[in-house]
Amino acid sequence: MINESLARFSNYAVYGAMFVYFIAFFAYTAEWVFGRKSSFVVAAAGQSTAGQTAEVPAQAEALVAAGAAGGAGTGTADVVPDDLSGLDDLGDFDDLPDLDDPNPAIDGGNLRAITAGGIAVSTTVLGFALHVLGVVCRGLAAHRVPWGNLYEFTVAGSAVAMAIYVGLLFRKNARWLGVFVTGTIVAILGLAVEVLYRDAEQLVPALHSPWLVVHVAAAVLCSGAFTVATLSTILYLFKSRYETRAKLGVASPTSMWRRVPSAMKLDLVAYRILAFSFPIWTFTVIAGSIWAERAWGRYWGWDPTETWAFITWVVYAAYLHARATRGWKGRNASIVALVGYGCFIFNYFVVSIFVNGLHSYANVKG
């Protein structure tokens, strides 16, 4: 029997998560804007001192040769490098000027960026807590796992994506990814509640199986991982283009892409996530075949959902194989990864909603 109170509370928690994520999205955006202005002031300061620093090297070399390390700091000035190639570390918001700097223009922009960043992180954590609460309460309301239909699968999968981001946030200070993740999650949850929503209900008899827990849980985990990897891949393509323009000297010093980690780092992040999730997706396909044999008496019947799950597996396998054996990196590998996610999304929405098949997700409206 469905617990209607818990079901309603789950809906409220999901709506609350959407609202808080929306605030986080604007806070991350504000951090970008204020940090960008501050970085521009720093770049201008670095350019204004370029003539002075050109006269310093000869004197500095003489001091070093004479072993005058103890006198360092007299007559020398710290110069902020105007490096447009991107930052090498995932914690890229550390390039803002020091709050102790007497320049009020720099201090003001930096302080606003830090304040916005703090709001962004705190609201992200709060939104994630509400998100998880919504998933858990949905399962408790229906007395089953909270991924029994496409709406629940979407909400749970987006929670996994956010969990991966929160992990990167606290381990790698990856706030640079926040504006993209929160914006994407708000869009996904909006689609879930407006288009895919179904009331909490009992499952059809065919889904009363332990494989619902194992098979679909693996698919939920992969959906979140694939989403974060795809965001990193898209950022890689933009960052790579920016770095190319920077080498040609035509990139803007105030561009937002200056503050994103290097293209190499972004490519590596996407690769590591996909390398982690691919074995899980392999298990998802195998577990689905075993469940199909138990439910329908055959391991494989070329059902549309089965077919596109296999196509997704083939594309991601090609991506990993190309990187491992041919040394593919960068743009070519990224295109293959995006094709793989495109196959996953096509199966997830188009096949599940518009194509008749044996899988229960095909009937969204009940």
- Residue 98 domain flag: no
Q: Does one domain contain both 198 and 285?
A: no
The most confident of the ranges 224-238, 253-267, 327-341 is 224-238
Stretch 337-357: mean pLDDT: 88
Listed residues 142, 168, 202: the one ending a domain: 202
Stretch 135-159: mean pLDDT: 94
In the prediction, which pLDDT does 48 show?
A: 41
| Residues 148 and 207: beta-carbon distance below 8 Å | yes
Cα–Cα distance, 111 to 117 (Å, whole number): 10
Instruction: Report the predicted TM-score, pTM, of the whole model to 2 decimal places.
Output: 0.79
DSSP for 261-279, please give it. BPHHHHHHHHHHHHHHHHH
In the prediction, which pLDDT does 71 show?
A: 38
Q: Does one domain contain both 17 and 147?
A: yes
Q: Does one domain contain both 310 and 185?
A: no
- Residue 227 domain flag: yes
- Residue 95 domain flag: no
The mean of the pLDDT values for the chain is 80
pLDDT band at 357 (very low <50, low <70, confident <90, very high): low
Q: Does one domain contain both 165 and 255?
A: no
φ/ψ of 71, rounded to 5, equals -95, 5
Pick from 100-104, 195-199, 253-257: least confident: 100-104
Q: Does one domain contain both 138 and 263?
A: no
Listed residues 171, 202, 233: the one ending a domain: 202
Q: Does one domain contain both 119 and 240?
A: no
| Residues 316 and 205: beta-carbon distance below 8 Å | no
In the prediction, which pLDDT does 114 show?
A: 87
C-alpha 243 chain-centroid distance:
21
SS3 labels along 27-61: HHHHHHHHHHHHHHHHHHHHHHCHHHHCCHHHHHH
pLDDT band at 243 (very low <50, low <70, confident <90, very high): very high
Buried b vs exposed e over 117-135: b needs ≥16 C-beta within 10 Å? bebbbebbbbbbebbbbbb
Q: Residue 324: count other Cβ atoms within 10 Å of its Cβ.
A: 10
Range list of H helices, the chain? 4-48, 50-53, 56-65, 104-142, 150-172, 178-191, 210-247, 263-296, 304-325, 331-345, 352-354
Q: Does one domain contain both 111 and 179?
A: yes
In the prediction, which pLDDT does 109 show?
A: 56
Q: Does one domain contain both 133 and 277?
A: no
DSSP for 298-337, please give it. -S----HHHHHHHHHHHHHHHHHHHHHHS---THHHHHHH
% of residues, the chain, pLDDT over 90 = 51
Q: Quick one: angle between helices 210-247 and 263-296, nearest 10?
A: 160
φ/ψ of 87, rounded to 5, equals -90, 150
Q: Does one domain contain both 195 and 234?
A: no
87 three-state secondary structure: strand
Q: State the amino acid at position 204 in one-letter form.
A: V
Number of domains the chain is built from: 2
C-alpha 205 chain-centroid distance:
36
- Residue 353 domain flag: yes
pLDDT tens string 109-127 = 578 888 899 999 999 999 9
Structural domain that includes position 278: 221-366
